[in-house]
Structure 1
Amino acid sequence: MTTTITAQALTDFCDEYLQAANFSDYCPNGLQVDAGVPIDKIITGVTASQALIDAAIAQNAQAILVHHGYFWKGEPAPLTGMKGNRIRSLMQHGISLIAYHLPLDAHPVIGNNAVLAKELDLQIVGALYPHEKYPVGNIATTAPISAQAFADKISKVLGRAPLYIGNDPSRTLHKIGLCTGGAQDMIEQAYAMGCDAFISGEVSERTTHFAREMGIDYFAAGHHATERGGIRKLGELIADRLGVAVTFVDVDNPV
């Protein structure tokens, strides 16, 4: 028997599980586009790109669940150009869009940081910013490992080689800060918290100088690659708890 659910009921489940109301974010978390169609198949992915929408259309899905949705602070409001094309595709094909940003980064079990840490055999021991009740960055420990061996492990786990910035690949790492996505500037906080290294998704020109001059290793492992884990795990949870068919679609992104 096929299980169906409304977009609002699906959102309510995710809102409660991720404690979305506790976050002040750069975009609205939860239901962003309601197509008003009962849902029996969900496509999950990192970003609600046109390619992901096209995959949902091809697979006759009625909902897309992502980490990067729409309506970010500071972006133009009119539904024109690329944004207009995306919204039009969703509405014309009866597809709802649900998105979770910081709540999906920070969740202690299925969050992006938690999943990445587990995959890399890291043990999360605290928050990168101790004052945060729901930390979006973490501090973890590892069995002693060289910087080069850690880079090799990242390559194996994520299927892509990280950009490693450091002074000595043979240096032994013990304490590692991590925050997936575009959190490269948190390297300064990782240094302040006594971390040997910091891992995130993206890198900036300034990141290189800070890492080299302050003696903290940096691993830029890819914004997309480091944030596949959370949304994939959320989809698996929904399939298990709600009985709705869920398929993860990985739209390749080298960044």
Structure 2
Amino acid sequence: MTISSKALALYLNDFLQVGQYKDYAPNGLQVEGKAEINRIVTGVTACQGLIEKAIVLKADAILVHHGFFWKNEPEVITGMKYKRISRLIKHDINLFGYHLPLDGHETLGNNVQLAKQLGIEDVEICVNVSQNLLWQGKLNSPLSGEQLTNLLTEKLAHKPLHIEGGEDKISTLAWCTGGAQDYIDIAAQLGVDAFISGEVSERTFHNATEQGIHYFAAGHHATERFGIQALGEHLAQKFGIEHQFVDIYNPV
């Protein structure tokens, strides 16, 4: 079966509630390709490696979390950006990108999918905090910092950096995938034992230790691999199109 690129864009924009977010890049169809889509490749970032793999797989569209045209980046299409976009155009491949809407989606988004991977219970969105991108919940049984590190390593295939800022046992958590390390201050105000995100900054160490909260930098790429997979699987089931997730290695 197939779906038109325009129909898919309309569906995704509505399903992911794009209009609710103030984002750093356009969400939706970013580069137009074939009018009809039968095969989609999903990935975290629209890097050259993902594009080349999609060409080999004869994809009609690529669906990513990190697309193109970010705020404050050069507007000209030269160098790396030209190489990427020219390959898409040459092979008539559509590029769809969904950033914050994919982080925040309540059933398929990166945050809820991370909670499922870790078995977090009593999951809830911290309403009216950072566009509803901060989530919280609790573990089914308390874990030490080392045990939570091991769990994250197992589920994400990436060993996190652990900053020991809190008590010995961790029961309650807040999290936001990707580059959300500065939400740690809000997490500390919530009174949770630990905060999980993707990246870490120099200041994060002090923010964690001085506020008595554990911090786990579990990888920007690693924490954001699950939402795009879930979205691709959803589209395959709903529209009867082919879907393949391609994981391009990124240690960050």
Q: TM-score range by the shorter chain?
A: over 0.9
Q: Does 1:219 align with 2:216?
A: yes
Gaps of 5+ in 2: none
CA RMSD of aligned residues (A): 1.4
> Are the equivalent residues in 1 in contact too, given 2:65–2:99 (CA < 8 A)?
yes
SS at match of 1:70: coil
Which string of whole-angstrom CA distances, capped at 9 and with x for unpartnered residues, describes residues 83-137 of structure 1? Answer: 1111101000100100100110001111100000111011254334x32495111
Partner residue, 2:195: 198
Query: What TM-score do the two structures reach when normalised by structure 2?
Result: 0.96
Kindly provide the amino acid, as one letter, of the partner of residue 30 in structure 1.
G
Q: 1:175-186 alignment to 2 at 5 Å? A: 175-186=172-183
Unaligned runs of 5+ residues in structure 1 are none
The aligned residue for residue 244 of structure 1 is 241
How do residues 116-131 of structure 1 correspond to structure 2 at under 5 angstroms? 116-128=114-126, 130-131=127-128
AA of the residue aligned to 1:69? G
SS of residue paired to 1:160: coil
Distance in 1, Cα, partners of 2:248 & 2:15: 26
**Residue 3 of structure 2 aligns with which residue?**
5
Q: TM-score, normalising length from structure 1?
A: 0.95
8 Å CA contact 1:66, 1:100 repeated in 2: yes
State how many pairs are aligned. 251
Mapped pair 1:31 → 2:29: yes
2:15 corresponds in structure 1 to: 17
Shift of 1:37: 3.6
Aligned positions of 1:97-116 closer than 5 A: 97-116=95-114
Q: Which amino acid aligns with 1:192?
A: Q
Partner residue of 1:156 out of 150, 154, 157: 154
Looking at structure 2, the residues matched to 167 and 55 of structure 1 have their Cα atoms a distance apart, in angstroms, of 42
Aligned partner of 1:208 in structure 2 is 205
Matches of 2:250 and 2:130 in 1, distance apart? 32
Which of 135, 139, 145 is the matching residue for 1:138? 135
Q: Establish whether residue 74 from structure 1 lines up as the match of residue 66 from structure 2.
A: no
Q: Secondary structure at the match of 1:61?
A: coil
Q: What is the alpha-carbon distance in structure 2 between the residues aligned to residue 24 and residue 134 of structure 1? A: 8
Runs of 4+ in structure 1 off by over 6 angstroms are none
Three-state SS of the structure 1 residue aligned to 2:37 is coil
